[in-house]
Amino acid sequence: MIADSGAHNRRIMIESAAMNGDTINREELEKLLAETESSLRERVGELPTLVVQTGSGVSLAASAETEIEYASIPHFPVPSAAGHAGMLRVVKDAPHPFVHLWGRAHYYAGQPGWKLGLPFRVLHRLGVRNAVFISATGAINETFAGGDIMLIDDFINFTAVNPLRGIAGEGGMMEFPAMRVILDSGMADMAEKAARTAGVALRRGVYAMSSGPAYETIAELNALRALGADAVGMSTVPELMTARALDMRTCALALITNNPMESTPTHDDVIAGARRAQSTVERWFNELLREFARTGL
């Protein structure tokens, strides 16, 4: 019995390591997606066509019809950083219904790129076609300050991590997806109109993703500035790339929480900065939902 138990435990460890490896084959991914889809379909039924993913310290909507912890969803990547609730919420009591992915897992915590994109693959299978991303970031552009919000026009993948490696072209996904346009023009227009209505200054710029968990050196920040980046963070790109490869309409927002060029950042500072800007983000986001409702997104 002891020998059998040991073999069983070793098998579980090997399977777990394979599931969290940098790559996964298409057959294994299909199995995981099917299991995750089946679990969610039983628990939430039909979903809204819009998903919103929020990062450090950012929460949306006071009430939700359904709330499910990521940890209870098969194969969902579970956040480990403070300020990430790790909760899938279905919000219908809003100007436009949406699925809220409250918190995200990160590459720096050991999660492979493909697994960070898994929630969007599953939600796409459940009928979700539009995605909004909100993340906490540091300013690189010297004219930006804490509390500003920036519509992400483009990104620089400073990590070179690609969530599509080995599995692009599967399940309706494009084999060679173009990342030339990652901000849907229609959603961008609605985001800017919502900002004007809400009285919120909405900047636009380029987001750079670094691998973390260490914050960038001054030389790295200067390099990113020279490359044209306006803000930097440790998330969003894998999920955004996955959504684009699925031909989802996408819109990403960077919430500026601190300026790493001027002072040494801490994660507590990032969370505090996000919470200070919460009311501004909420005001803009509620108007954005009204724009979505008016246009029938």
Tens digit of each residue's pLDDT (9 = 90 or more) over 22-38: 788 888 999 999 999 99
Q: What is the DSSP letter of 170?
A: S
Confidence tier at 4 by pLDDT (50, 70, 90): very low
Specify the pLDDT at position 93.
87
Residue 184 has pLDDT above 80, yes or no: yes
pTM: 0.89
Structural domains in the chain? 2-295 (3.40.50.1580)
The mean pLDDT value of the chain amounts to 88
Confidence tier at 160 by pLDDT (50, 70, 90): confident
Tens digit of each residue's pLDDT (9 = 90 or more) over 222-246: 999 999 999 999 999 999 999 999 9
Residue 8, Cβ density class (10 Å: 0-12 exposed, 13-18 middle, ≥19 buried)? exposed
Specify the pLDDT at position 60.
83
Confidence tier at 20 by pLDDT (50, 70, 90): low
Confidence tier at 19 by pLDDT (50, 70, 90): low
Percent pLDDT > 70 in the chain is 92
Whole-angstrom distance, CA of residue 118 vs CA of residue 78: 11
CB distance 25 to 166 below 8 Å:
yes
Residue 11 has pLDDT above 70, yes or no: no
Top-confidence residue, 2 or 51 = 51
* 3 state DSSP class of 254: strand
Tens digit of each residue's pLDDT (9 = 90 or more) over 75-97: 999 988 777 889 999 999 899 99
Residue 121 has pLDDT above 90, yes or no: yes
Confidence tier at 288 by pLDDT (50, 70, 90): very high
The H-assigned helical ranges of the chain are 2-19, 26-44, 113-125, 185-198, 218-227, 237-245, 267-276, 278-295
